[in-house]
């Protein structure tokens, strides 16, 4: 009979036994402690950054996540949570938060002229509506540079001060003053205006103090002095209105991130701010005929493109899989390797290569296949659409070939043998046995391929850029002949044109998400019917 372990007789020995049972201060616990210390350090850094940025929501969520993670990984009762929490945290950060933030942006006017906060917009309006102060002498200034940032520095009452458009004049440490002028500053370079930096220096309107009504310093062309400019508008903080001191017009907050007069007319030369505007973006999409009609055309082409892409790639991949799955074909491995080569190259590089091959003037397609004919494959709307379908066929058939090959090899050989014994011809075997079983296996993949091609931005952007475009120029948000919905979202975002409308583009992207989700849900329901029939 084996001896029973002795019970701990003291509190200290009981703690030691408990630690021994739980793993104690072994290597595993040390590793966990180090990892948790790193996670806590990153989390605390995020909390500090959120506090500095004034992001209350992110601050609260970060603190809660930190507390939950520490509790789960140091409490004995939360063993299941140790496996669930990492996935849940990543789900919240990369899925839930992104979706909620996207939905929020879609109900705002976030975009060109509406980027910053209301306070920043008020300051910008005061700095833009200015006139030279007649009774103020110019300031002797120098322009400082630190990295890519520029500062305006001057001497006020014998003390060096500096500032930017967002930072009023404040004390400048480390400055050397000679004969009332700044000649050197520790950590900064004194620069002179030239062609490379003059556009940036022109935007330097440095407030003399926190009170914008005191005026701004604006650099003169020689870069050695700045004049005092006084606002020609007066802001009443209590009433939240601007008054034009020359005309007497009063502008108030119109509720859509813009100051407007009583007639609803925008304040001239003013910038807006980011504000919640409700469902105005969605209303624009559905109610504005100038947008709705082109979008309907884009939607029709998007559906056709996605359907034709799936259909063509699937049937070509299926035909090749049937051919190279036959035991009569010698060297199957070599042929299968060659078939999947297009799938091995990055899609965007392949699209660029095909773009060069389809060029009207020097493309090899025209030179070698059509004997030098100048066929405008990417300039004619219908030929451009055909080109996209063909290039996507080249890119997509290897995937379908692999899928169909695997599905064909999973069909029991006994079933096919029984059909042959019963006298079923090859076509009947294919139609009654092979194709139904194949569809059950590949239907979910066909649905995912449809969803992928519905949002196949890379191919459209790299091959045609959405063109050919209507009108006289490319700097337009009007859809091109090959634009699909996702590329039209990019066009509406206006990043390349410098006039972004993120709110409208985000609203359209949410509608795309709903549409693709509805199509996928319907398709999966039909897939279940196939399984029931089988």
| Three-state SS annotation for 346-362 | CHHHHHHHHHHHCCCCC
Query: For residues 480 and 6, what is the distance between their CA atoms, to the nearest angstrom?
Result: 83
C-alpha 406, offset from chain centre? 35
Q: Which of 184, 256, 191 minimizes the C-alpha distance to 224?
A: 191
Residue 297 backbone phi and psi in degrees, to 5: -65, -40
CA atoms within 13 A on the CB side of 336: 20
Query: For residues 291 and 303, what is the distance between their CA atoms, to the nearest angstrom?
Result: 18
Domains 27-106 and 289-533 share a fold: no
| Domain residue spans of the chain | 27-106, 129-242, 289-533
CB 383 within 8 A of CB 414: no
Query: For residues 494 and 501, what is the distance between their CA atoms, to the nearest angstrom?
Result: 6
427's CB contacts (< 8 A; 6+ apart) are none
3-state secondary structure 176-195: EEECCEEEEECCCEEECCCC
pLDDT tens across the length of the chain (534 residues): 444 454 545 555 555 545 444 445 678 778 888 888 998 999 899 899 888 877 888 889 889 999 998 988 888 787 888 888 888 888 888 889 889 999 999 999 998 888 888 888 888 888 788 888 888 888 888 888 888 888 889 998 889 999 888 788 999 999 998 888 888 999 898 888 777 777 677 767 888 888 777 888 888 766 778 888 888 898 888 999 999 988 889 999 998 899 999 988 999 888 899 999 999 999 999 988 888 888 999 999 999 999 999 999 999 999 999 888 877 777 777 888 888 888 888 888 889 999 999 999 889 999 999 988 889 999 999 999 999 999 999 999 999 999 998 888 888 888 888 888 888 888 888 888 888 888 888 888 898 999 999 999 999 999 999 889 876 444 456 788 999 999 989 888 876 666 788 999 999 999 999 999 898 888 878 777 665 555
Topology of domain 289-533, CATH: MetI-like fold (1.10.3720)
For residue 162 the two structure tokens come to 């500096």
CB 486 within 8 A of CB 453: no
CB 378 within 8 A of CB 358: yes
Give 3-state DSSP helix, strand, coil % of the chain, rounded to 5.
Answer: 55, 15, 30
CA distances from 60 to 57, 96, 380 (A): 5, 16, 55
* 3 state SS of 117: coil
To 10 degrees, the CA torsion angle through 10, 12, 13, 18? 120
Taking the alpha carbons at both ends of the chain, their separation in whole angstroms is 63
pTM over 0.85: no
* 3 state SS of 329: coil
C-alpha 368, offset from chain centre? 41
Q: Which of 126, 46, 136 minimizes the C-alpha distance to 93?
A: 46
Class of domain 27-106: mainly alpha
């Amino acid at each position: 009979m084996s001896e029973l372990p002795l019970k701990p007789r003291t509190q200290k020995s009981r703690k030691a036994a408990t630690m021994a049972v739980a793993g104690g201060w072994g290597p595993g616990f040390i590793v966990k402690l180090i990892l948790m210390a790193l996670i806590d350090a990153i989390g605390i850094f995020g909390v500090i950054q959120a506090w500095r940025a004034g992001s209350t929501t992110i601050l609260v969520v970060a603190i809660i996540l930190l507390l939950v993670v520490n509790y789960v990984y140091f409490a004995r009762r939360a063993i299941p949570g140790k496996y669930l929490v990492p996935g849940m945290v990543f789900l919240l950060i990369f899925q839930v938060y992104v979706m909620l933030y996207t939905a929020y942006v879609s109900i705002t006017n976030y975009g060109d002229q509406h980027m910053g906060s209301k306070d920043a917009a008020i300051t910008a309006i005061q700095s833009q509506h200015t006139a030279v102060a007649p009774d103020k002498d110019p300031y002797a200034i120098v322009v400082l540079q630190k990295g890519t940032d520029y500062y305006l520095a001057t001497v006020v009452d014998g003390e060096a001060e500096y500032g930017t458009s967002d930072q009023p004049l404040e004390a400048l440490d480390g400055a050397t003053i000679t004969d009332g002028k700044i000649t050197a500053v520790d950590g900064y370079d004194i620069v002179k205006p030239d062609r490379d930096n003059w556009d940036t220096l022109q935007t330097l309107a440095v407030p003399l103090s926190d009170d914008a009504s005191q005026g701004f310093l604006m650099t003169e062309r020689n870069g050695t002095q700045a004049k005092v400019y006084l606002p020609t508008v007066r802001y009443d903080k209590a009433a939240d209105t601007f008054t034009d001191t020359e005309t007497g017009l009063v502008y108030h907050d119109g509720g859509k991130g813009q100051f407007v007069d009583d007639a609803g007319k925008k304040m001239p030369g003013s910038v807006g701010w980011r504000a919640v505007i409700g469902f105005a973006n969605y209303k624009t999409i559905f109610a504005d005929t100038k947008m709705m009609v082109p979008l309907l055309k884009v939607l029709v082409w998007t559906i056709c493109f996605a359907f034709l892409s799936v259909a063509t790639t699937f049937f070509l991949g299926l035909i090749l899989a049937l051919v190279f799955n036959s035991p009569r074909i010698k060297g199957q491995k070599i042929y299968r390797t060659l078939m999947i080569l297009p799938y091995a190259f990055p899609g965007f590089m392949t699209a660029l290569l095909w773009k060069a091959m389809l060029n009207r003037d020097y493309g090899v397609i025209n030179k070698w296949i059509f004997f030098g004919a100048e066929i405008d494959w990417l300039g004619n709307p219908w030929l451009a659409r055909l080109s996209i379908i063909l290039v996507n066929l080249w890119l997509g058939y290897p995937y379908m070939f692999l899928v169909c090959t695997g599905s064909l090899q999973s069909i029991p050989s006994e079933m096919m043998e029984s059909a042959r014994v019963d006298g079923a011809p090859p076509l009947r075997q294919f139609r009654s046995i092979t194709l139904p079983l194949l569809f059950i296996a590949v239907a979910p993949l066909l649905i995912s391929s449809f969803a992928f091609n519905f949002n196949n931005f890379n191919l459209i952007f790299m091959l045609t850029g959405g063109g050919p475009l209507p009108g006289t120029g490319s700097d337009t948000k009007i859809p091109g002949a090959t634009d699909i919905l996702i590329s039209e979202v990019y066009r509406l975002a206006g990043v390349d044109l410098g006039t972004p409308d993120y709110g409208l583009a985000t609203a359209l992207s949410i509608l795309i998400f709903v549409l693709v989700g509805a199509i996928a849900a319907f398709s999966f329901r039909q897939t279940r019917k196939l399984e029931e029939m089988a």
